[in-house]
């Protein structure tokens, strides 16, 4: 481990969040590097190759926050691209009595499997970008040429989450999709939210924060309308009103 407390990069943590794991006070750790290039990414500044992380500094930050949080969430970037780091940080956080959550694009299901088997994961949040029945659309949104292999892996990751939740190996499993005007049709959204029967959140994308500059933010009312047409209870997440359950 590298001991470098003075130079600890505080930009990789949000010390306190109630948004990433609704209902829990969490600290969020952003692990750099991502295999996707989503048009609406807000964290594009950490897409690149991950530099060594000051693990001791990070653990010190976690312990400093311990009295104010009940969970640690790994986000990114794509945190499952760094499985060894992820596992060792999760082990240390568990020793502190923290719950562990992951926000992932689902591209590395084997990492999720390993963490669940090791009892190092309590909440799984997978971002679904487009219908899994349409790899070409998926590829366009995640900014790569061919998404066929990823669609298979993401499907596997979702099935791992469903099985783990059913077996009470994890506490929470949520699929999430970030919406912008015209990026996904009503039919596509309806298909996505009904495919797996698990909790699903439609999130309001913030166009002004995205890497691609020609996106348009949907209003809360527009997201309510999209959710209402889907035929099942959903959660929506907007800047106007936070989390709301729509029946």
Whose Cβ is closer to ligand SF4: residue 14's or residue 59's? 14
Nearer Cβ to ligand SF4 (6/214): 214
Question: Which range, of 20-28, 33-41, 199-207, 238-246, touches ligand SF4 by CB under 6 A?
Answer: 33-41
For position 76 contacting ligand SF4 by CB under 6 A, the verdict is yes
Q: Binding-site residue total for ligand SF4 (CB under 6 A)? A: 10
8 Å CB contact between 75 and 20 = yes
* Out of 12, 13, 31, 41, the residue judged to bind ligand SF4 by CB under 6 A: 41
| Stretch of residues binding ligand SF4 (CB under 6 A), selected from 34-42, 51-59, 93-101, 213-221 | 34-42
CB of 76 to ligand SF4, least distance (A): 5
**Least distance from C-beta 34 to ligand SF4, angstroms?**
3
Q: Other CB atoms closer than 10 Å to residue 91's CB: what's the count?
A: 12
Residue number with CB closer to ligand SF4 (65 or 205): 205
Question: Between residues 80 and 190, which has the closer beta carbon with respect to ligand SF4?
Answer: 80
Among 13, 27, 38, 202, binds ligand SF4 (CB under 6 A): 38
Binding to ligand SF4 in span 77-136, by CB under 6 A = 77-78, 105
* Two structure tokens written together for 176: 């999430």
Q: How far is the CB of 229 from ligand SF4 (least distance, A)?
A: 25
**Which 3-state string (H, E, C) describes the chain?**
CCCCHHHCCHHHEEEEECCCCCCCCEEEEEECCCCCCCCCCCCHHHCCCCCCCCHHHHHHHHHHHHHHCCEEEEEECCHHHCHHHHHHHHHHHHHCCCEEEEEECCCCHHHHHHHHHCCCCCEEEEECCCCCCCHHHHHHHHCCCCCHHHHHHHHHHHHHHHHHHHCCCCCEEEEEEEECCCCCCHHHHHHHHHCCCCCEEEEECCHHHCCCCCCCCCCHHHHHHHHHCCCCCEEEEECCCEEEEEC
- Find the part of the chain contacting ligand SF4 (CB under 6 A) among 12-20, 38-46, 86-94, 164-172: 38-46
Residues that bind ligand SF4 (CB under 6 A): 34, 36-38, 41, 43, 76-78, 105
């Amino acid at each position: 481990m590298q001991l470098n407390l003075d130079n600890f990069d505080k930009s990789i943590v949000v010390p306190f969040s109630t948004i990433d794991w609704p209902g829990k006070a969490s600290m969020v750790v952003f692990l750099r590097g991502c295999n996707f290039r989503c048009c609406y990414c807000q964290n594009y500044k950490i897409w690149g190759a991950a530099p060594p992380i000051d693990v001791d500094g990070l653990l010190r930050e976690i312990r400093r926050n311990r009295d104010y949080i009940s969970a640690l969430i790994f986000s990114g970037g794509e945190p499952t691209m760094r499985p060894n780091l992820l596992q060792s940080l999760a082990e240390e956080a568990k020793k502190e009595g923290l719950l562990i959550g992951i926000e992932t694009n689902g591209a590395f299901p084997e990492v999720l499997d390993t963490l669940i088997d090791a009892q190092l994961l309590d909440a799984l949040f997978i971002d679904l970008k487009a219908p899994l029945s349409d790899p070409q659309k998926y590829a366009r949104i995640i900014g790569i040429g061919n998404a066929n292999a990823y669609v298979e892996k993401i499907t596997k990751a979702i099935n791992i989450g469903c099985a783990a939740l059913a077996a009470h190996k994890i506490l929470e499993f949520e699929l999430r999709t970030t919406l912008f005007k015209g990026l996904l049709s009503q039919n596509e959204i309806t298909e996505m939210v009904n495919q797996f029967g698990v909790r699903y959140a439609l999130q309001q994308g913030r166009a002004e924060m995205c890497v691609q500059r020609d996106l348009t933010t949907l209003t809360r009312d527009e997201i309510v309308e999209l959710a209402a047409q889907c035929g099942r209870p959903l959660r929506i997440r907007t800047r106007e009103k936070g989390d709301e359950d729509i029946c």
